[in-house]
Amino acid sequence: MGAFAKASASRKVASLLGGLAMLGTSALVLSGCAAGAGGGGGPVGDLTLKIGTALPQTGSLAFLGPPEEAGVALAVKDVNDAAKGITIEVTYGDSGDTDNKAYETEVPRLLDAGVTAILGAASSGTSLQFIDQVVGAGVIQFSPANTSAALSTYDDKGLYFRTAPSDVLQGEVLGNLIAADGHSTLGMIVLNDSYGNGDGAKDANGNFTSGLAGFVTAAFTAAGGTVVSQPTFNTGDTNFDAQISEVTASNPDAIVLITFEELKTIAPKLIGGGFPADKVYLVDGNVANYSEDFEAGLLEGSKGTVPGLNLETIADFTTAMNDNWVAAGNADLADVFAYGPEAYDAVVLLALAAMEAGSVEGVDMAAKLQEVSGGTGGGTKCTTFVECADIIIGGGTADYDGVSGPITFNEVGDPTEASIQVYQFGNDNTAVPYAG
């Protein structure tokens, strides 16, 4: 099996055994939050839920847009086909990134369309550019892919949720994986934003203390390693010669690339320049299918971490997601499913929260999202929208465990149960679950 780590609520990694990491914290029971609308009596009349998406159709994470939108599309179909008293209408939009700033026109368009929840963005840094605008309008912002720890404490008026876990866990898993692989010195090339280096603060040794770089550093140094260089770059940069020169000059045993699609430029020069591929580590922002981008074998042996379950264990779901997507006239997802399950679960949770609240208003749904995820305790486990909806209609409390995992929101809208999968690239430059 792959590398398995378990962390407690204090985020301490207890063990590293192979490819899958699990985080569990106690469900928080909040007084006054367990009862449904009208005492848990189910939805009031027929509900029409209008949602929008601000997912990356363009920009540095555009490769994640199709699987995320495919997850949304399948969830909308499943909810509407179920005919349980709620219908979802979706308006698709482009988040872009912090360079092209597509969100500046797209988010106002979605709000003008009357949506009461917006799915997105994929990038934490992009989400932070429009979160105030969304929650200020009383609309839920719900990301399937944001992982920055900064969002856990953001003043979001109780209207921000995510189905992807904080990078505190991913950093622990990746840092310990690198140490377990026998490396004692580490270099990084880091995106200069909330995802990459957090607030940019450094400790006395010159190491980042937040963002994914900070969490990898904390785990790696706790395991006895030393971080020797951490050059950064900005979104929109196209030349990385300086960063590659700086990190290789420090002669590290291994290098972590905390990037998005910039990997397409960095990897050929870094690995092509002689740094061994099997000593390169990637992250969720750049673990993708590069079979059409690189010559055979360029990434062979590289490893990377991605929040979420091993996609091979939910093959029936990903097949259904792809089939539904292609049937609508879209291109085949080509085995790129990252954050599609998380997007699907986000839509299902919104529908269940609306049913429990008897309302499609953002504030009302937000008040029920922790409950329907199982975060307030006492609910009945269910794994499909139909099963959960029937529990709510019958006057019970639904506890949805989704295709992306148990989820179980805490009081700030973060999932308290999650998994991190380790992948390894083969000769065809595609990644499969690591079985080392």
pLDDT in tens, 157-174: 999 999 999 899 999 999
47: which 2 tokens?
């509900």
pTM of the model: 0.83
Host H or E run for residue 422: strand 415-425
Q: Do 148 and 197 touch, CB atoms closer than 8 A?
A: no
Given a cut of 60, whether residue 7 has pLDDT beyond it is no
181-197 pLDDT, tens digit per residue, is 999 999 999 999 999 99
Average pLDDT on 90-118 reads: 98
Alpha helices, DSSP H, located in 143-204: 167-180
295-304 pLDDT, tens digit per residue, is 999 999 999 9
The amino acid occupying position 166 is S
Given a cut of 70, whether residue 29 has pLDDT beyond it is no
Distance of alpha carbon 404 from alpha carbon 25, whole angstroms? 17
Average pLDDT on 350-368 reads: 98
pLDDT for 371 equals 98
Among 15-24, 117-126, 139-148, 255-264, the minimum mean pLDDT is found in 15-24
- Could you give the residue range(s) of every CATH 3.40.50.2300 domain in the chain? 32-165+318-405, 167-305+422-433
Given a cut of 50, whether residue 11 has pLDDT beyond it is no
3-state secondary structure of 113: coil
Scan for tokens 């010159």, then name that residue.
206
Residue 379: C-alpha distances to residues 36, 334, 360, 365, 416 (Å): 11, 37, 21, 17, 16
Q: Do 425 and 431 touch, CB atoms closer than 8 A?
A: yes
Mean pLDDT of the chain: 90
pLDDT for 2 equals 33
Cα 81 versus chain centre, distance: 27
Cα dihedral 261/414/156/235 (nearest 10): -10
- What's domain 32-165+318-405's superfamily in CATH? Response regulator (3.40.50.2300)
241-298 pLDDT, tens digit per residue, is 999 999 999 999 999 999 999 999 999 999 999 999 999 999 999 999 999 999 999 9
pLDDT for 311 equals 76
User: Confidence class of residue 417 from pLDDT cuts 50, 70 and 90?
Assistant: confident
- Label residue 347 left, alpha or beta by phi (over 0 means left) and psi (-120 to 50 means alpha): alpha
Q: What is the DSSP letter of 240?
A: -
pLDDT for 310 equals 76
Cα angle 24-363-38, degrees, rounded to a multiple of 5: 90
Distance of alpha carbon 383 from alpha carbon 164, whole angstroms? 18
The CATH architecture annotation of domain 167-305+422-433 reads 3-Layer(aba) Sandwich (3.40)
Given a cut of 80, whether residue 207 has pLDDT beyond it is yes
Scan for tokens 């499969």, then name that residue.
432
Per DSSP bridges, beta strands 160-162 and 140-143 are parallel
pLDDT for 45 equals 60
Closest C-alpha among 215, 225, 213, 234 to residue 252? 225
User: What are 92's strand-pairing partners?
Assistant: 53
- Tell me: cis bond preceding 121? Omega within 30 of 0 counts: yes
Average pLDDT on 142-149 reads: 95
User: Confidence class of residue 25 from pLDDT cuts 50, 70 and 90?
Assistant: very low
User: Confidence class of residue 329 from pLDDT cuts 50, 70 and 90?
Assistant: very high
Distance of alpha carbon 58 from alpha carbon 110, whole angstroms? 17
3-state helix, strand, coil in the chain (%, to 5): 35, 20, 45
3-state secondary structure of 162: strand
Among 33-47, 74-88, 220-234, 389-403, the minimum mean pLDDT is found in 33-47
Closest C-alpha among 151, 27, 126, 106 to residue 410? 27
